[in-house]
Amino acid sequence: MTKATTEISRRGVLGALGVGMLVSGCASTTPSAYYSIGAADVGSLAGRSSRVQMLVASPRALKALDTSYIAVVDRGPVYSYFPGSAWADTLPNVVQLKLVETLQNTGRLRGVGLPGDGLLIDYQLQTEIRAFELQIEGANRGVVEISARVVNDRNGRTVATKVFRAETPSGSTSVDKAVEAMNASADRVFAEMAGWALRNV
C-alpha cells in the first residue's frame, strides 16, 4: 500500500466515524447513547486479606481524556470523538468508581472508598489515565493504559509504582465494538492493578 493510499484510507476511517473534528469542537454535540465500564472479574484473585482501608483518589488525565466523550486516537496522537455517544460520566470519574468496585469485590480489604467517605485511610491508590481510547493507527484496538502508585497515607511515602496497559482488537470502528474492546482492556488492567495493590498494602 502506498503512502497516498494509506492517507486516503485514514481520512476515510475518520470520515466514516464522523469524528474528524478538534477536541474543542465536540462540546456542542448532544449524546444520544451513554456507555459505562464494567468492574473487573476478581473472583479468582489469590492472596491474603488485609485489615487496611484504602482510598481511591480521583485519576489524573490529559484534558483530551478528562471528558465524557469517547476518544478515537489517530497517530500523532490526534484525538477525536464518537459523535452522539459518551461515557456515563467523565472518564476519570467512571474509572475511579470502577476501581473502587473492583477492589471492594476482592473482599480482601477492610474498607475501600472515595474522598469524603469518612474512611480512616491507611493507603491511597493514585492513578493517571494515559490512554483509554480506540486507536485506529494500524489495527483498530481498544487501548487502556493507567499508571498507578500506592501511597502510605500516614507518612506520605510511595510504597510501589507500576504502569498497567492492555490492548484488545475491536474488529470494527463502531462505537459498540470500540467500547467492548475498551471494556475488555480495562477488565485486565483493573484486575492486575487490584492484585498488585493488595500485594503492596
Mean model confidence pLDDT for the chain? 87
**CB contact at 8 A, 126 and 57:** yes
d(CA 48, CA 61): 32
| Number of Cβ atoms within 10 Å of the Cβ of 109 | 21
Using the predicted structure, report yes or no on whether residue 1 has a pLDDT greater than 70: no
Using the predicted structure, report yes or no on whether residue 191 has a pLDDT greater than 80: yes
- Interval 145-180: pLDDT, tens: 999 999 999 999 999 999 999 999 999 999 999 999
pLDDT grade, residue 17 (50/70/90)?
low
As for how many domains the chain has, the answer is 1
Grid cell in block for residue 183: 471494556
Using the predicted structure, report yes or no on whether residue 7 has a pLDDT greater than 70: no
The pTM (predicted TM-score) of the whole model is 0.85
- The CATH number assigned to the domain holding 82 equals 3.40.50.10610
List the domain range (segments joined by +) for residue 61.
3-199
